[in-house]
Structure formats: structure tokens, C-alpha cells
Amino acid sequence: MESILKGDIDKCKIELPEHFKVKLSYKKHVRAFKASFYPGMKQISSTSLVFETDNYFEVLRMLLFVI
């Protein structure tokens, strides 16, 4: 355990993209309509939504609310 903790933590970091675009598709249009009210969400069809942001934590927060 000690040898692991003494290792270089920079080797564990990942590069995240500068921009995120998440497309969600639902089977039922009612669920898509309900999720479309999340701030920043755009409804592109009766069952599909798109969410764009530069912040990874915004993506995680959005997923908690809409799925």
C-alpha cells in the first residue's frame, strides 16, 4: 500500500475534452419532454435531446437529473 501511495499521481490523471456534447434518446416522448426542462438542454426531436457544456461536472449533474 505504501509503495502505491508514494507513486506519481500524475500518471493517474486523464485529459478531458474542452467541450462536451451529450445526445440522449428516449423511447417515450414524455420522458424526453420532461428532461428538456433541464437548464441548457435542447430538444431536437420528440424523443431526442442534446446538452452541451465545457464543464465535466455539469454533464454528471445533468445525467443525475434526466436519466
pLDDT at 13: 86
Rounded CA-CA distance 30/49 in Å is 12
Residue with the three cell numbers 465535466: 56
Locate the domains of the chain by residue range.
16-66
pLDDT at 46: 98
Q: Which residue has the higher pLDDT, 63 or 14?
A: 63
The DSSP code for 8 is -
State whether the Cα torsion 27-29-34-39 is positive or negative: positive
Q: Right CATH number for 16-66 from 3.40.50.1820, 3.40.605.10, 3.30.1360.130, 3.20.20.70?
A: 3.30.1360.130
pLDDT at 12: 81
Per-residue pLDDT tens over the stretch 4-60: 778 788 888 899 999 999 999 999 999 999 999 999 999 999 999 999 999 999 999
- SS3 of residue 54 by DSSP: coil
